Structure 1
């Protein structure tokens, strides 16, 4: 059994306040460090972007310890935004993984001190391969920065750690610098939403950016359709059979003239109309909201949410209904 906390209420409140104050202090220090980074974006940053942009191979990111964790994330961000990249552990690089680096690649090396032994050990080999080296350091006079083709200054005035030891503000600044590189390159490459979706097909973003209306709509015999002169009760049977909570209403040429939904039915029930003799044309919603089959499913969702409706008709260029979908279809497809 864990020991019961016997700390007085006053002391507990004091400790909680201490937690909050320390957290605020950390945020203020890191916020200041990130803001100061803007002043360090100069020709070196532009040159680094040019080197990365013109890379014919891949961007190889290396870093040790906390810098390695940041490097891993930077490599992933670069790769997912149009700049092929991967991370190599500098310790493993000395034992064979340097073979992954080709003369067409660019190396991006992270080290706050610029003197990390696992990184500096492999610098002569990178130099011998004549591979461009971009360093990201907090020490412009370090071994790493001297070997580099171009150095990006990620120095910080102090760490958020009260002992000024644990990498905190410095890793945050390095992460932000990596994001700045990735987004600058993304913009220069003309990277689009479709490009992004192709590298994220399994996630919700990919589904929203790749999935078309045609992929999820009900087609052919599954589309509820009745004619203008169809009695209400027969239209309801069509709705019940197709289970979409609506039916399309078309003229003799098959052109969409309206839509009849569950909402329309509730309004019809408030009248004294004869369901067996009254044609659906008298109670349908004129026109109705439609969308093309080649549109994104996310656009269908946007229409349905903005118009507060639960179903859409998919029409061709002649306004003939060729499909239908409802909110449940979007939910099932993971678009919502």
Structure 2
């Protein structure tokens, strides 16, 4: 782990909506060149936490620090200006627009001046192709609609866009949740590349099998509270899965299913034992009568 100040840190952060406590007493820090996986089931508070990190919500209590300095963001644009880029599940992309237009949306490069200023689409196309090529995605025509790309490729467009525009902290909201194995592997490889490039990555997911290969540390959430932060060399995949899903709940479920199966077998044995011999051997008896002519 780096001896420098964390790139982003939360200290005892709460977020309340009226009387509802969405997250409570959350502490977490992520250094440069590190992937922090934020794990939790649905309703654990993951969405509220990333919106607090990205400037959508202001903490009710606690402190948020970026590069060792207190951060008081008034909007997501303030967080983005500080280098905190969030890629949400919906990707904020327009499927019918080209790859290039989605890549530079709102930040189009221009040439000329005054009334003669115009978008330099030739330069934009070249940059989009080069940035996608860096992560191993060969874009033959950057003018093709982004909706023609696979789910994993669209995720990579959104991530590459954030990195190109100077992200220091990359927050990924369930980037592999709707992807197949091959597409998810594309996204996971790019997460590893972002870490190698020195970014601090916060990878939000409920899939331990996607998280474990790329993570350096895990923060587990349950019902808005933190179960703790663990380094990868401190916990196994199975231990992370048990903490996240709740080992006690899984053991209870196994016991209930076993009991149900035993009761079902017992009922079948009683039913078979109560049938008369003629009924129990109905097909054979019927066959015998037909053979003898009775």
Q: TM-score range by the shorter chain?
A: under 0.3
Q: Higher strand fraction: Structure 1 or Structure 2? A: 2
TM-score (norm: length of structure 2): 0.27
Compare CA radii of gyration and give the structure with the larger one: 1
TM-score (norm: length of structure 1): 0.24
Higher relative contact order (CA 8 A, sep 6+): 2
